[in-house]
Chains A and B, each alone.
Chain A
Amino acid sequence: MNLTERLQRKLSENLPYEELVPAEQPIYVRSYVYLFGVLTLASFILLITTGVILAGFGPQWWHSSNVGHFFNSVHYWSAQAFFFFMVLHLWTTFFQGAWREGRAVTWASGVVIFLTSVLTAFTGYVSQQNFDGQWIAIQAKDALNSTGVGAFFDVLNFGQMYGFHVVILPAVVGLLITGHLFLVRLHGVVRPYPLAAGRILNAQGDAVPLVSEEAAQ
């Protein structure tokens, strides 16, 4: 069996297309809480779309064009929406203990996405070429210099920050989101915490055996 065949077999065993894009879900997924993830993804799609338009016209376009300023505004509010929904997603998955039963890496990848997104937004802020960009860069340089990182990641260097913001970091966030979604589909959404010792209740009130929590952690 060659490598391609092995990959085919692994995928068909663990993540066939009907699992990758499932048409049915456990009944408890019908909750508004589960929308925060997809709202984050939708905001990210908008961020990339408006970011491509802004980058296509160059970094100075939006300062002199009303249309450009509008696209910058959509990009700006998409970033606000992205973080708003992502933080809600992060907190609600925390309260679900969503890392249980083999999902620890899925959780960790989500936290890495959040931290990388903070860095991505930061490079956007210092690439604005306005007073906000000047102020944030001048303030931030001391923090980065104190850790030694500033010697290689120069927030006062527009070219470097712009490159990070429009190419490197969005690509990293995009890849991480892809991996995160892949893990979510691979493991499926975590079961609710049990209400009764050793049992979990389904929607009909039937007690269902639960894998021991110690084993699940």
Chain B
Amino acid sequence: MIARKKEYYRGIPTAPYDLVKELLVALGVVTILVVILSAVLSSPDEPPLTIKKIAQQDPVGFVQAALNELDGTSGIAGYGPPYNSSSGSVQNIGPISPQSWIGVHIPVNTAQDYVLGPLSQVSFTDVALATALSQYDKAPSAEQGKWTDAYNTALAKATVQGSAVSVPHCACGPVPVMMSSMLLLGQRGAMDGQLLASNQFYRTDYSRPLLFLADAGAVQSHAEDLHLLGTQWGVMNETGNYPGQAWMWLYTTLYQIWPFNVAPLATTAGDLAPMITISILSLLILLVPWIPGLNRLPRYIPVYRLIWKDYYGNQPPKGQERGDE
């Protein structure tokens, strides 16, 4: 032992200690533990949702989602940065709004990316669709709005026949043809691939299809079925009663408690307020050694007496001890 440490540990006996053996034994114990847990409990792997699946299971919901993307009333169309310049999901606490400051970095044009683009890719095989797209494209935006509004009203009375959606006749211009084609694209699985397509051959960015799934509401309802919602105390859990990210319990708790779960924080900074709070708490834990008072806290919590119980085996005579500090 070097002199500095000898001085530090002066008067404290030392004992042989085999660190390498300790690590090897720990490795063996943990290996056995996790192999047993893996063999008995396995791990969750709920299949992902696809656009094809939701279009087949809920055709009207799918068409409604596509219509919302086209007329700009979907959640992502009105989201704001980093996807577009809207403001529907922009959060702030007073003048503090990093989301606005950063601006648009992952541009998503919902009408073009989710409806017009995918339809135009297949319109060369479908004269009626090509005509409809041309008519929609040439119409003034006010006319387009009238068509989509009328279709929106008619869609509320739609019926499902097999895999098709039957929408009452309406003054909807080319929109019914476009939406029928959209439903086919979705149900045949073409849209899953189209939303990943780009000028590059390889793609690993699932932003657009995932944002569409989120808009369609299918992810939310499937998560509810699997008890994954925050209100079901499931945000940190995962499918199949597995523990999930239990280490995030404090962060996810913030979403469920006052003042984070009521206005104004819940409406203007539903995520920003918990994020700032957990950042401050993390910083506090990080800086504990330098925070007067907090750095002496463990001295006044007698847990250390349990930790070093064996070492403290020989208690000092009564009267010499400093109370219950």
A95-112 vs B, Cβ < 8 Å mask (1 yes, 0 no): 111010101100110011
Q: Which of A14, A24, A112, A158 contacts B17 (CB 8 A)?
A: A24
Complex contact B298–A23 (CB within 8 A): no
Q: Which of A23, A63, A83, A97 contacts B299 (CB 8 A)?
A: A97
Whether a CB of chain B sits under 8 angstroms from the CB of A56 is: no
Q: Closest approach, in angstroms, between the C-beta of A148 and any C-beta of chain B?
A: 3
Complex contact B205–A30 (CB within 8 A): no
Whether a CB of chain A sits under 8 angstroms from the CB of B142 is: no
Whether a CB of chain A sits under 8 angstroms from the CB of B233 is: no
| Given the contacts A81-B34, A201-B316, A33 and B307 also touching, CB distance less than 8 Å | yes
Q: Closest approach, in angstroms, between the C-beta of B32 and any C-beta of chain A?
A: 11
Q: How far is the CA of A217 from the CA of B3 in the complex (A)?
A: 22
Complex contact A195–B99 (CB within 8 A): no
| Given the contacts A80-B243, A118-B248, A121-B247, A99 and B288 also touching, CB distance less than 8 Å | yes
Whether a CB of chain B sits under 8 angstroms from the CB of A3 is: no
Residues in chain A near residue B16, CB distance under 8 A: 23-24
A-B contact count (CB 8 A): 303
| Given the contacts A24-B1, A96-B304, A208-B10, A145 and B20 also touching, CB distance less than 8 Å | no
Residues in chain A near residue B44, CB distance under 8 A: 130, 132
Whether a CB of chain A sits under 8 angstroms from the CB of B8 is: yes
Whether a CB of chain A sits under 8 angstroms from the CB of B201 is: no
Whether a CB of chain B sits under 8 angstroms from the CB of A27 is: yes
Residues in chain A near residue B307, CB distance under 8 A: 31, 33, 92, 95-96, 192
Interface residue count on the A side (C-beta < 8 Å): 106
Q: Closest approach, in angstroms, between the C-beta of A117 and any C-beta of chain B?
A: 8
Q: How far is the CA of A81 from the CA of B26 in the complex (A)?
A: 12
Q: Which of A29, A42, A158, A207 contacts B29 (CB 8 A)?
A: A42
B6-40 vs A, Cβ < 8 Å mask (1 yes, 0 no): 00111111111111101100110111011101110
Complex contact A134–B49 (CB within 8 A): yes
Complex contact A69–B26 (CB within 8 A): no
Residues in chain A near residue B314, CB distance under 8 A: 201, 203-205
Q: How far is the CA of A115 from the CA of B15 in the complex (A)?
A: 34
Whether a CB of chain B sits under 8 angstroms from the CB of A131 is: yes
Q: Which of A74, A103, A115, A192 contacts B311 (CB 8 A)?
A: A192
Complex contact B210–A138 (CB within 8 A): yes
Complex contact A203–B298 (CB within 8 A): no
| Given the contacts A95-B304, A147-B99, A154-B106, A130 and B82 also touching, CB distance less than 8 Å | no
Which B residues contact A (CB, under 8 angstroms)? 1-2, 4-5, 8-20, 22-23, 26-27, 29-31, 33-35, 37-39, 41-49, 81-82, 89, 91, 98-99, 101-103, 105-106, 204-207, 210-211, 213-214, 219, 222-223, 226, 228, 235, 238-239, 242-243, 245-248, 269-272, 274-275, 282, 285-290, 295-296, 298-299, 301, 303-304, 307-308, 310-316, 320-322
